[in-house]
Amino acid sequence: MNFTAEMIAGLISGEVVGDKSATVHTVSSIEDGKAGGLAYLSNPKYEQYLYTTQCSIVLVDKSFEPKQDVAATLIKVDNVGACVLQLLQMYQAMKPQKSGISPRASISEKATVGENCYIGDFAVIEAGAVVGDGAKIYPHCYVGDNVKVGEGTTLYPRVTIYEGCAVGSRCIIHAGAVIGADGFGFAPNAAGGFDKIPQLGNVIIEDDVEIGANTCIDRAKTDSTIIRRGVKLDNLIQIGHNVQIGENTVSSAQTGIAGTSKVGKNCFLAGQVGIADHITVGNFVKIGSQSGIDRDVPDGEVRFGSPALKGMGYYRSFAVFKELPDMARQLRALESKVAELTKSEE
């Protein structure tokens, strides 16, 4: 699909500076863009690339004035970030949509599939499962007994949803994610081994949740593991049994949350955060990368480090930590001087 600068400017209420007939067919970074690409400049540190980019069209803020000649056509807008998001959403909506049910899919006669669904090759939908209108289930997905998949939800290839779990409407679950595998529960026995504790609960995922590739969300031992509305989870995240994550919380890759912990709403967990079991993290909490949370965190606080400290406390401690080698040398020198003085007084 080709779009002219004039068409794009009309869609986002922009002002064209340059060739109104310049066309693009793809979106590119400003550094590596080629002819036919649409790029944007929102961070001043990338301005240098504006003067060398081969992109045909670049979005810039209305206040921006170039310091050199620019070969690309510029479109000036009120808010570059918001306009880029708007264009990407429009482009996504215009892409051909998957439709139809493959004859190679295995759908139980006791399952219910709504209207206008897409179900790909070798997808399996078991007895009692309910798939809502407009859902997309890509090849090799597994939807277990009595699973509910809401309207407009997309399951990308090889997503596995174990029996009895529920996924809300307009969710996106990326390839390889596993919903509802057994929680990690074992009890020591008299023989020195371990007996498996049955995991009898399920997983409930509310509306508008996105779950990254190869993320695992364990079923509860009893009751439910719950992912509230609007949560966004990155790839390779582990959510333990009976965990609850509050609405609109976001987590980056490789985070691990141990069983029965609770994370509040509108939190941000950076990459590789670890949260111990039976911990409560309040609302609007921010946790830095590779932090280890071993105790409850009140609403609105910031944590860094392992074990995690309050934001400024961590930085003060880190400032001291960097000086420890010099301080150790100074301490040894002082000990030597004290020893010499003590010896001379004898």
pLDDT tens figures, 160-217: 999 999 999 999 999 999 999 999 999 999 999 999 999 999 999 999 999 999 999 9
Distance of CA 163 to the CA centre of its chain: 25
Question: Which of 25, 174, 241, 278 is flagged as catalytic?
Answer: 241
pLDDT value of position 190: 96
- The verdict on 42 and 182 lying in the same domain is no
Residue 222: CATH number of its domain: 2.160.10.10
Mean local confidence (pLDDT), 268-290: 97
Distance between CA 298 and CA 303 in Å, rounded? Answer: 10
Residue 203 tokens, joined: 């997983």
Distance between CA 117 and CA 129 in Å, rounded? Answer: 14
Residue 83: CATH number of its domain: 3.40.1390.10
Rg of the chain in Å (alpha carbons) = 27
pLDDT value of position 178: 98
Ranges 51-60, 89-98, 302-311, 337-346: which has the least confidence? 337-346
**Omega of the bond prior to 307 within 30 degrees of 0, cis?**
yes
pLDDT value of position 49: 95
pLDDT value of position 276: 97
Nearest to 75 by CA among 23, 40, 29: 40
- The verdict on 9 and 78 lying in the same domain is yes
> Per-residue pLDDT for 239 more than 70?
yes
pTM for the model stands at 0.86
Our count of domains for the chain comes to 2
> Per-residue pLDDT for 309 more than 80?
no
Is residue 341 a part of any domain in this protein?
A: no
- The verdict on 120 and 256 lying in the same domain is yes
pLDDT value of position 161: 98
Is residue 342 a part of any domain in this protein?
A: no
What is the CB neighbour count within 10 angstroms for residue 36? 16
Is residue 244 a part of any domain in this protein?
A: yes
Is residue 322 a part of any domain in this protein?
A: no
- The verdict on 105 and 221 lying in the same domain is yes
Residue 235 tokens, joined: 């790839």
> Per-residue pLDDT for 314 more than 80?
no
- The verdict on 85 and 118 lying in the same domain is no
- The verdict on 66 and 190 lying in the same domain is no
- The verdict on 125 and 47 lying in the same domain is no
- The verdict on 79 and 136 lying in the same domain is no
pLDDT value of position 138: 98
Q: Range of 295's domain? A: 100-309
Residue 204 tokens, joined: 């409930």
Is residue 327 a part of any domain in this protein?
A: no
- Taking only the tens place, the pLDDT of each residue in 106-158 is 999 999 999 999 999 999 999 999 999 999 999 999 999 999 999 999 999 99
Is residue 142 a part of any domain in this protein?
A: yes
Distance between CA 21 and CA 128 in Å, rounded? Answer: 55
- The verdict on 169 and 304 lying in the same domain is yes
Distance between CA 93 and CA 144 in Å, rounded? Answer: 30
Is residue 33 a part of any domain in this protein?
A: yes
- The verdict on 147 and 268 lying in the same domain is yes
pLDDT band at 220 (very low <50, low <70, confident <90, very high): very high
> Per-residue pLDDT for 83 more than 80?
yes
Mean local confidence (pLDDT), 33-60: 95
pLDDT value of position 346: 65
* Residue 25 annotated as catalytic: no
- The verdict on 161 and 249 lying in the same domain is yes
Higher pLDDT, 103 or 305: 103
- The verdict on 41 and 132 lying in the same domain is no
Mean local confidence (pLDDT), 312-341: 83
